[in-house]
């Protein structure tokens, strides 16, 4: 194999890795999935950690949407709630939509997408 071909392959692999990383940071790879609120919790609930670098971004999204009844559960203070809800990464947002279905999204999601999922204006 020629040197140019090898460099082309390495460049393509690096480009693909950078694209995936960029899409993940923008929240495009984030998807919602069905969930269940543990006993005593009602939504929307944001699961965070004191050491989470992306949790502030999700807090800003929630503030922008002005979610009513919002509650934050912090790992260092309420680890049992994480176990009950099956949350193993942060940030994670759990809510019920206008039809009563309960959803959870792990990671940071933009305000427009979250508004569509929740069913707001």
**pLDDT tens digits for the chain (121 residues)?**
788 888 898 999 998 888 776 655 554 445 666 666 666 666 688 999 999 989 999 999 888 888 778 889 999 998 888 888 888 889 988 887 777 778 888 888 888 888 888 775 4
Number of domains in the chain: 2
Domain range spanning residue 21? Answer: 1-30
pLDDT for residue 88: 86
Q: What is the pLDDT of residue 23?
A: 59
Q: Are residues 64 and 78 in the same domain?
A: yes
Calculate the alpha carbon distances from 30 to 12, 34, 63 in Å.
24, 14, 19
71 and 44 share a domain?
yes
Alpha carbon distance 111, 64 (integer Å): 7
Helix then strand then coil, in percent of the chain rounded to 5, is 40, 15, 40
The reply to whether 101 and 78 lie within a common domain is yes
Question: What's the predicted TM-score (pTM) here?
Answer: 0.68
- Amino acid 28: pLDDT: 45
25 lies in the same domain as 65: no
3 and 52 part of one domain: no
Same domain, 95 and 36: yes
Q: Is the same domain home to 17 and 65?
A: no
Both 23 and 53 in a single domain? no
């Amino acid at each position: 194999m020629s040197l140019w071909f090898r460099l082309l392959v390495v460049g393509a692999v690096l480009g693909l890795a950078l694209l995936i990383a960029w899409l993940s940071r923008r929240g495009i790879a984030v998807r919602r999935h069905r969930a269940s609120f543990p006993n005593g919790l009602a939504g929307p609930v944001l699961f965070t950690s004191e050491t989470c670098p992306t949790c502030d971004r999700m807090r800003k999204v929630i503030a922008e949407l002005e979610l009513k009844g919002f509650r934050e559960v912090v790992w260092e203070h309420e680890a049992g709630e994480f176990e009950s809800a099956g949350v193993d990464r942060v940030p994670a947002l759990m809510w019920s939509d206008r039809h009563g279905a309960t959803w959870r999204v792990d990671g940071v999601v933009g305000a427009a997408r979250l508004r569509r999922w929740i069913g707001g204006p």
